[in-house]
């Protein structure tokens, strides 16, 4: 890591206007927990013309100055996991602007509808109301000068509505067994760009041998219909999950969520649900290095690959932990 850091610093000296170089330097710094410099470099993602994250607005970017009577647009950027992780900052904006508008992807509109401080929520792609300045959710850690010891990690900051939770309660019948939700593949966008985040359900098959456990599929998309490993009973409600609010209602009735590095892991963590995440090697910057916990989510436990591609070792470690948890109930 030290050698990589030295190489990236030298690279940006040689080519100081290269957004991809700065962006990759940001990932490295954030992985190392060097947040002050990392968030500054992370802003270069907004200058990378090769990435689909780039948005064009006539209104200026907000840089943390006094907003006075101005109207602020906060917009989600990246995937659903990014939105769920960083929406925690929105309540910290309450009272700082005349009006706060939150724009987000359609599948999280209902989930985000009760976030404190939001005056109006708009589905991405719909007409935006008038606003004076704007900020991406992913730029808010920089605005609030977030360090490792100052991450706003009070959970839950997202929850299922009482109606959604009740709707699922009668359908989740554990019969005294530990109720465990499973998510084994990332989104289509992740599958195109990062194969290490996409696993088949078959890799989790050994968990099915754990006595006292009943599994529930949280998987969405085509992977939800994958054949179940022999001996693994997985209840499938994928056809009944219209959006993340529905999924939150289901998660609220579970004892544990086991997930690859995808949005379902973030949702469970944001809800303060016990969640175990299968972390690839190399890991995404948000999981830092060599930690079994996450400063972003107090109820999360990380199960890391020791060697790239070694998911069998990860599942074996999880199997031991799952057996211990099932014993205590």
- 305 and 314 Cβ atoms separated by less than 8 Å: yes
Query: Does 29 share its domain with 80?
Result: yes
Assigned domain for 157 exists: no
The answer to the question of residue 213 being in a domain is yes
Number of domains in the chain: 2
Q: What is the pLDDT of residue 191?
A: 43
Last residue of a domain, one of 81, 114, 143: 143
pLDDT at site 51: 63
Name the nearest CA neighbour of 136 among 33, 38, 245, 44: 44
Domain boundary among 85, 112, 143: 143
In a domain, 124, yes or no: yes
Q: Domain range for residue 201?
A: 162-328
Mark whether 220 and 135 lie in a shared domain.
Answer: no
Question: Residues 62, 72: contact at Cβ < 8 Å?
Answer: yes
On whether residue 291 sits in a domain, the answer given is: yes
Is residue 296 domain-shared with residue 225, that is, in the same domain?
yes
Residue 5 lies in a domain: no
Q: What is the CATH number of the domain that holds 168?
A: 3.40.50.2000
Give the global pTM: 0.94
The whole-number pLDDT of residue 199 equals 65
Question: What does the alpha-carbon distance between residue 309 and residue 280 come to, in Å, rounded to a whole number?
Answer: 8
Residue identified by tokens 């840089």 is: 63
Are residues 169 and 123 part of one domain? no
Structural domain includes residue 96: yes
pLDDT for 15 equals 97
Distance CA 36, CA 30 (A): 9
174 and 209 in a single domain? The answer is yes
Q: What is the pLDDT of residue 53?
A: 61
- Provide the pLDDT for residue 58: 94
Residue 117 shares a structural domain with residue 258: no
Handedness of CA 259, 263, 266, 272 (dihedral sign): negative
Residues 120 and 218 in one domain: no
Question: For the chain, percent helix, then strand, then coil, each to nearest 5?
Answer: 45, 15, 40
Omega into 282 within 30° of 0, i.e. cis?
A: yes
What pLDDT, on the 0 to 100 scale, is given for residue 48?
Answer: 79
Q: Do 121 and 169 reside in the same domain of the chain?
A: no
Note the pLDDT tens digit of each residue in 96-131: 999 999 999 999 999 999 999 999 999 999 999 999
Domain presence at residue 149:
no
Residue 95 inside a domain? The answer is: yes
- Cis amide leading into 156 (omega within 30): yes
Low-confidence ranges of the chain (pLDDT < 50): 190-196
Q: What is the pLDDT of residues 254-285, one digit of tens each?
A: 999 999 999 999 999 999 999 999 999 999 99
> What pLDDT is stored for residue 152 in this prediction?
98
Buried b (16+ CB within 10 A) or exposed e, 25-35: bbbbbbbbebb
If asked whether residues 181 and 280 sit together in one domain, one would say yes
């Amino acid at each position: 890591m030290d050698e990589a850091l030295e190489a990236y610093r030298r690279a940006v000296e040689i080519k100081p206007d290269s957004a991809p170089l700065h962006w990759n330097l940001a990932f490295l710094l954030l992985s190392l927990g060097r947040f002050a410099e990392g968030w500054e470099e992370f802003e270069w993602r907004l200058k990378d013309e090769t990435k689909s994250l780039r948005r064009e607005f006539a209104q200026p970017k907000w840089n943390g100055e006094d907003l006075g009577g101005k109207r602020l647009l906060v917009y989600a950027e990246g995937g659903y996991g990014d939105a769920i992780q960083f929406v925690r900052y929105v309540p910290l904006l309450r009272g700082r602007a005349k009006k706060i508008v939150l724009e987000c992807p359609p599948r999280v509109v209902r989930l985000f509808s009760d976030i404190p401080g939001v005056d109006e929520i708009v589905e991405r792609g719909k007409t935006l109301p008038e606003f004076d300045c704007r900020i991406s959710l992913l730029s808010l850690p920089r605005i609030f000068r977030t360090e490792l010891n100052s991450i706003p990690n009070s959970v839950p900051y997202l929850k299922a509505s009482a109606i959604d939770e009740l709707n699922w309660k009668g359908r989740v019948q554990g019969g005294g067994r530990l109720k465990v939700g499973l998510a084994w593949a990332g989104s289509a966008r992740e599958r195109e760009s990062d194969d290490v985040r996409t696993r088949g359900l078959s890799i989790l098959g050994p968990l099915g041998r754990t006595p006292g456990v009943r599994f529930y599929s949280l998987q969405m998309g085509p992977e939800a219909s994958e054949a179940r490993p022999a001996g693994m009973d997985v209840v499938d409600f994928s056809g009944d999950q219209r959006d993340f609010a529905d999924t939150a209602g289901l998660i609220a009735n579970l004892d544990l969520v086991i997930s690859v590095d995808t949005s379902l892991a973030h949702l469970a963590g944001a809800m303060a649900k016990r969640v175990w995440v299968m972390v690839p090697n190399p890991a995404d910057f948000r999981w830092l290095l060599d930690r079994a916990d996450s400063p972003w989510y107090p109820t999360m436990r990380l199960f890391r690959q020791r060697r790239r591609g070694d998911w069998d070792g990860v599942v074996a470690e999880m199997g031991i932990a799952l057996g211990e948890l099932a014993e205590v109930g």
